[in-house]
Structure 1
Amino acid sequence: MFSFFKKKATPSETPAQEPAGPVITPAQDPASAAVDAPSPAPAEPAGAMAWLRKSFGAGAGEPAPAAPEPTAKPLPLGSARQHWVERLKTGLKKTGTSIATVFTGTQINDALYEELEDALLMADTGVRATQHLLDDLKRRVKETKTTEPAAVKGLLADALADLLRPLEKPLVIGEHTPTVIMVAGVNGAGKTTSIGKLTKHLADHGQSVLLAAADTFRAAAREQLGVWATRNTVEIISQEGGDPAAVSFDAVTAGRARGRDVVLVDTAGRLPTQLHLMQELSKIRRVIAKADAGAPHEVLLVIDGNTGQNALAQVRAFDDALQLTGLVVTKLDGTAKGGVLAAIAQERPVPVYFIGVGERVEDLETFNAREFAQALLA
């Protein structure tokens, strides 16, 4: 499975000689590389090299070879990743079905493009992204001299993948110690649950995590995060009724003192229209910077994929207030509005680090443009 973060190895942790081997990175398009099952390897000493081998298999950590040219046909994915793609297809089925019905006709004409425009708009792709996709699709149809409507769907998947590709970016852990991640979002978007899932992934990959329960306004928010802390066996900094900025400051300070790899700061849910609350989020960011110059190193926004164009409005508002570095898109399963990622890519291309299609821990995975486009139009 593709790992969703990278940790830099220090010279002291890197052996002088390592056998050559493939390096699989999160940003690499799985359509252009096969994930081979790693062969048994001798025990490695503790450190970054052992972590890299655990995450990527034997040979990880060496200089990466030149990226291969994209192949005409996608190579097979690893079984775990393939299982995830199947869940993604199931989650996006409502959106995909409404678009796929457009290509059941027998002719490529203006009527087909008009129906496709309606379907894309209904999927909350947005006016600008819809027009971009239609123009790009018509160009591809003309260049390839495609005459079958069913083949046009494949060209649309290519156009959508190209539009979404700027959103691909791996979450990097290890450039700072600790890496401070501030997480924001509106109430009900799945923010605290996403933090718990991310904590699980980090802990499973050998990262020491400290949680900051800076959502001091919502009843039971501290308890909910505490349950995740207990489940993942990580520490948590919290204060009943405390000031959110003060809790964040204490957590970052504690993370530095205890040598933690990651400090995850859970902030209270905010509506972009509540300006005084948005200003308080900005205050939390400033206070975190006082505890650790340069922090927060990542500012993530959790958005609900069911909210469609409202999610785009949230991205704009939170980006203006906090300078977002990444998104977590949740609840894509069962929604007919999965096209909102195209609108985000066209109008506010903040990287999408993770997408979620369910409540289970394994239902949160890294975002890949081609996987998403193919799953949407399957």
Structure 2
Amino acid sequence: MTVIAEGRTAGAVRTAERVLSARAGSPVVLDDPVDLAGSGRTDVVRVRVAQNPLSPDRSLVIKVLPADEPADAFARELASYKYATALPMRSRPGPQLIASDSAERLIVLSDLGHGRSMSVLLASTDWADPSHAISAWGQALGRMHAATVGGEDDFAALLRHGPARGDVEALTAQVQVAVSRAPEVLGEHLGVEFSTGFVELLTRAQLLFAEGEHRAFSPSDVGPPNILINDDGVQFMDYEWGGFRDATLDIGYAVVTFGAELAPRWADRRADLETAMVDAWRSEIQAIWPALSHDGELNRKVLTARALWVWLATVWMLPVELGDDRHARGLALRTSDPAVVVARWTDLAAAARRTGDQDIAADADAIGAALDAAWLR
């Protein structure tokens, strides 16, 4: 992190001062802006609160979305922070919304502090770090999901009354195109003979965005770069494109994305970490979704979600047009490293074998082998 120069960020700080001062009814002064390096599209700045007679906060975080970002992006993120801030403290997944300015696409948040990032913990050569972090991650997801079941109407109301409708989920649109073109991509781009069962699996997974038996709130990108562990536990730091969907998509996303961050020395213990994460998640949600207490049902649903995310990450690396992908450029799921994508197919095949789904394992092996031959040989 570096102290950043005057310019665009100075304007954001002045705007935040104006918004906070109007909210407090007295002058608020912010100082010492520090760049926290956002997703690449979003400016994220930590500031010191030099003067605020009505608040004990010593520092705050300012997020500013660029002017060319689709209006729905800001509307959905703002609604997500409003919704999450209203949750009980124990179930709140991340920072608290302090103030916002829709015209400037600016959000002011509580500062989570420094803590340790999930990426750093996974890369640690001390086994205690990744093993404890993985379980905490699963539990935090489960607590968030359990606390938000039944809240979809409240979230929808926040979207309706926000600065724009915010009802277009761009990630869902990308998934729909990626799945609809699966036979073409597999046959023409990869030259893979695949079972109809695999395409049917992707189609079922796609429906989890709009349907599903386990709907709960999701920040959308619950991968390692967006997770901090501080004194209050696991914190999810980015709610861009947050919304309600089947919760198995989140646990599947987490399982898919942590492998690229894991220290190589723990590669042979990856399956143990996957199991620990899923079990920790289940411990928090099985009281409200008892069907997931059964291993077969749980593993089948996580495998379905996982296959979808691996497929989407793959299509993003192929010359396949999916539409506007600005929202996806900073996602933990997205990678430019072909070795990461190939490894995800290997891991998916192994997971399918552990659950007894030999057909999906065979398809994952074939796709992984085709990508390995095309990209890594």
TM category (shorter chain) comes to under 0.3
Higher helix share: 2
The TM-score normalised by the length of structure 2 is 0.23
